[in-house]
Each structure stands twice: as structure tokens, then as C-alpha cells.
Chain A
Amino acid sequence: MEITLTVNGAAKTVDVADNALLVDVLRESLGLTGTHVGCDTSQCGACVVHMNGDAVKSCTVLAGQANGADVTTIEGIGNPDDLHPMQEAFRDNHALQCGFCTPGMIMSAIDLVQKGGGALDEAAVRDGLEGNLCRCTGYHNIVKAVLAAQSST
């Protein structure tokens, strides 16, 4: 079947299998491999993207459900010469070690800060990132980075 969606501001029409997942569309059809597949069981959050303004796990959304949606991936928020403030905060706070969880962490953190109204404390950040796992266990610096990004935006 054919679906049309907006990805990082550009309209895309993709032919997909009925049982394709959004993450397959992003990685395989559109070549946007910044969105990672970690656990593939909805637990780790490496695949988090924004869909119609909400952070979602793209390994647990069917491609058909994303038909007509507005999707933003890690590739859509900044670039090496012009990092998103959250990316800048992750760099400044050494909030990534192997980097595998980082795209999902950053997409979740942006949604968290945008909806947090500037009122997030450490506990709220830790609770808000419940759905993102870092197997390097680098959580302390990730939380520091999210709080720093909240202050800078």
C-alpha cells in the first residue's frame, strides 16, 4: 500500500507492506538511519521520533498509522554546524558514551522539555525518561544535560 507522510518538513510518499512499521519506513525506505532499533520490543526507546508533536516509539507504530502524519526524526532537529540546544547540552555534559540510545534520548528529552513548561526537576526528568534505556548506564549526565537544555531554551 502507499502512504504519504511529512518527514522533517518534506512530504514523502512510500510504498510499504501492510505490516511495515514506521521505523522501517524511516530507516529502510527513506534512509534515515539516525533512528535506531534497539530492543524492538517497545522498551528501550532508541527508536523514539516525534509524530504529530508527541514522542512515540517508532518500532511500535504501523506504517499505516503514520499515513498523513507529521514526523520529525533526529535528522530533522539540527546538523553538525547548527546543533539543536538539546544536542548541544548532551555534548557539553558528556551525556553520550556509545551513542546508541542518544537519538531516542534526545527526541524524548525535547518532547519532555517542550511540555514541561520550564518546571522540570531531576525527578521529573528521570520519570519522563522512563521509556529510554542507556546500556552504558550514563543516566546522570543525560539528566544533567536535559536540565541544562531546559535552562538554555
Chain B
Amino acid sequence: MYQFNYHRPSTLDEARSLMAGAEDGVYLSGGMTLIPTLKQRLASPSDVIDLGAIPGLTGVTVNDGTVSVGGMTRHSEVAASEAIPALADLASRIGDAHVRNRGTIGGSIANSDPAADYPAAVVALGATVHTTNRSIAGSDYFTGLFETALHDGEIVTSVDFCVPDAAAYEKFPNPASRYAVVGVMVARCGDCICVGVTGAGACAFRATALEEALAADFSPGAVDGVGIDHSEYNSDIHASAEFRGHLVGVLTKRAVATIA
């Protein structure tokens, strides 16, 4: 690791003020991506601002059909929560037990790794991302490869999810890292069907063609008639864009079969 100044503020205001005063600062949440990145010298921030000692940013609470997850809530805690079983299932399959004991939802979605699991839920479960500055609709939050709508210095304080009538998350994990080669969250809420896809594109997105087909006929067979355009999908050593397109269909079917 390169040298940096480590800070451990005890309030959000202090954290933002440290960030504003830093030459090239970075927030540290659970550190499950940032610390390996620092160790590989892929980043050289002047200041690391640890959010771990700020009270009030953890926990899962349920209110009137909304589940609110604090930004610093660890994956293991979401995995043990009961309000949205599909969200708990998603969290229980992130990385390994040690990663789930440290990694946080705020850190995950602030990083916007194209292969992270949570983004599928953020776009599929009508989420609202609350930050130190404002509230951002989940559908507007992810903007590109490792890019989000967050401004410099902004901190994710909580994420609200709508409790669906039914939902399921299916993923094809990389066997070594357990990152999603592709992950699909299907959620049904009344007549509304949401299909959130992670791993396939530059960032998580809703597969609207699949949603329309499933709204007309909520069955695995309805997926067969949908041509999945993989022209903008990721191609890397793990999978070609064409294979990822195939996985989107297969995983959507599996998720629908679980729900239907």
C-alpha cells in the first residue's frame, strides 16, 4: 500500500469536512473492495476516511411496506433479516462469510461494481437511495461502469426497498470469487413486474423487454419469446456478451419459476 492519512470521524459532518479538506480522499466502508485495491496499489488516495465509527448508519428496519437498510449495514445482517426473503437470500450469497461480516450495502452500491449483487435489488425493488444530501431513485442511481449519481463527498446513509408481493434472486456466480457473472432479481408487486439485472452490462439495469413479456404472462415460458439484445453487454475472460445474454434469460426463468 502507498501511504495515506487514516481518519475515523464520529459524525457524518466531520466525515464530509475531512473529505472536503483532503487532496484526494476516499471513504472507507467495510473495505472489502477498497482495501484489496489499496494493497494492489491500484489506488493512491491521500486520505482514507473510515465511516465505521459513525453511529446510526446500521440496521434493518421495517415501516409500512418499506424496508430501510442503513448504509453501513453488513451483508451478514441483511442475510439474517426476514422482511424481504429474496433480499436476504441475495445478501447471503455475496462473497464468503468473512466478506459478509465486513462488507456493507452502502459501500457496495457506492462502488457500483458491474458484478456486485446488491445493484440488482436496488433497481428491481423500487429502491430509494438516501444520502447526506438527498434521495435518489434506485432506477436513476447507477449511471455506468463504477459510476453512480453520487456527487463528490456524498455518503449513502440508507437504502429503502419496497416489500414486493413476491421476489427471487438468481445468479450464476463466478466459482472463485462468487461475484455475479450475471444476477437477476425478479420482483412482482401487484401488476407490476420488475427485472433487475447485474453482471451483464456496465452497471445494473432493468430489463424492460422481459418485464413487458412477464407482465402479459408471468410464466418461465414467456421469457422464450423475448430476444435479449446483448450487443452492449460485458465480454471478459469469464464470459462472452453472448453467453451473458443467454444467462439473463435462463436466470430470469429460474427466478420466475421460483415465484410463480
Q: Which residues of A50-80 have CB atoms within 8 Å of chain B's CB atoms?
A: 54-57, 60-62, 64-65, 67
Determine whether B165 belongs to the interface, using a CB cutoff of 8 Å to chain A. no
Residue pair A19, B38 in contact (C-beta under 8 Å) = yes
Question: What chain A residues lie within 8 Å of B176 (beta carbons)?
Answer: 43
Residue pair B96, A56 in contact (C-beta under 8 Å) = no
Determine whether A26 belongs to the interface, using a CB cutoff of 8 Å to chain B. no
User: How many interface contacts (CB-CB < 8 Å) are there between A and B?
Assistant: 76
Question: What chain A residues lie within 8 Å of B98 (beta carbons)?
Answer: 42, 45, 48, 55-57, 60, 108, 131
Residue pair B31, A61 in contact (C-beta under 8 Å) = yes
Number of residues of chain A lying within 8 A (CB) of chain B? 27
Question: What chain B residues lie within 8 Å of A65 (beta carbons)?
Answer: 8, 28, 31, 50, 52
A131-B96 CB under 8 A given contacts A19-B3, A19-B4: yes
**Minimum Cβ distance to chain B for residue A12 (Å):** 18
Interface size class, chain B: 20 to 34
Question: What chain B residues lie within 8 Å of A131 (beta carbons)?
Answer: 95-99
Q: How far apart are the CA atoms of A101 and B28 in the complex, in Å?
A: 28
A64-B8 CB under 8 A given contacts A55-B101, A128-B97: yes
**Minimum Cβ distance to chain B for residue A152 (Å):** 22
Question: What chain A residues lie within 8 Å of B4 (beta carbons)?
Answer: 18-19
Interface residues of A (CB under 8 A from B): 1, 17-19, 21, 40-43, 45, 48, 54-57, 60-62, 64-65, 67, 108, 111-112, 128, 130-131
- The 15 listed contacts between A and B (C-beta, < 8 Å) are A18-B3, A18-B6, A19-B2, A55-B97, A57-B98, A60-B31, A62-B48, A62-B50, A65-B28, A65-B31, A112-B97, A128-B97, A130-B97, A131-B95, A131-B99
